[in-house]
Amino acid sequence: MKSLKGKVAAITGAGSGIGRETAVLLAQHGCHVALSDVNEQGLAETAERCRSHGVQVRTVRLDVAQRQAVHTWADDVARDMGAVHIIINNAGVGLGATLEDTRYEDFEWLMNINFWGVVHGTKAFLPHLKAAGEGHIVNISSVFGLIGFPTQSAYNAAKFAVKGFTEALRQELEVEDLPIGVTCVHPGGIQTNIARSARMIHRQGWVDERSAADFEKLFATTPARAASHIVAAILKNRRRQLIGLDAVLIDLMQRVMPTLYQRILVAGARRRRQKMMMPGPTA
């Protein structure tokens, strides 16, 4: 896709963070946007910013875990806006817990959004991208789709699944010589509210009330910077997009030492666990 002007992009999780900034940047390029989120107030704020750039904007409250609702949204966007050229499956949630403490209900909740939401969005919009004659699919994975991390087994499972799903899809479309690009995005620490809004199942020595704040200290990349990488990946038809220096370093670490990196993370987790188990203010 060489130009975004006059195209139509659908974005999930557009009420804040990466989804919001990507929607605004697309609008700046003259791209019309269809926005969805469960956060209606955030969605309205994103829509207002996009409309200031003179493009068409449609919004809907949407839970991407609901298959039929996603398919209905895709059909409505194609009908109301004339076509759909881009789908960005961005909606996601977080969960911090050891596997032992993770309830099946929490695991299913996260997978239904972080993995099945991507599948629903891709399958719902793919026929419309084909009908438009060109298009691009962007699926948001994570650096946790590249490496495993303690207390992130459910999140790891979903993001690894998104990576494999996306890479297989791109190959299928290339075999058929279809003019639809597919990009798997692996953000590092992005300054969004995903950690603060994540479900945390507390366990002494593993997860406590400070865990979300500790994660946020590692978030170095702004959502606007992430959006610029995503838009560039669409225009350059990249297979994969790493976002942030931390993502680049994690990717390198995983490729250079695919098993040793686990020992490094274990050592770090042990030190943190010992600190958390200490009584008193020093903990």
The predicted pLDDT at position 22 comes to 98
Which residue from 220, 222, 223, 199 is spatially nearest to 211, judged by alpha carbons?
199
Give CA–CA dist 159/163, Å, rounded: 6
Residue 283 has pLDDT above 60, yes or no: no
Which sequence positions are flagged as catalytic?
A: 155
- At 167-215, the pLDDT tens digits run 999 999 999 999 999 999 999 988 777 656 677 777 776 676 665 566 6
Q: Residue 31: its pLDDT value, please?
A: 98
In angstroms, rounded to a whole number, what is the distance separating the alpha carbons of residues 207 and 213?
Answer: 11
Cβ-based neighbour number of residue 24 at 10 Å: 19
Query: pLDDT digits over 2-60, tens only?
Result: 899 999 999 999 999 999 999 999 999 999 999 999 999 999 999 999 999 999 999 99
Which residues are bridge partners to 8 per DSSP?
Answer: 32
Rounded-to-integer distance, Cα 212 and Cα 188, Å: 15
> Residue holding tokens 């084909």?
130
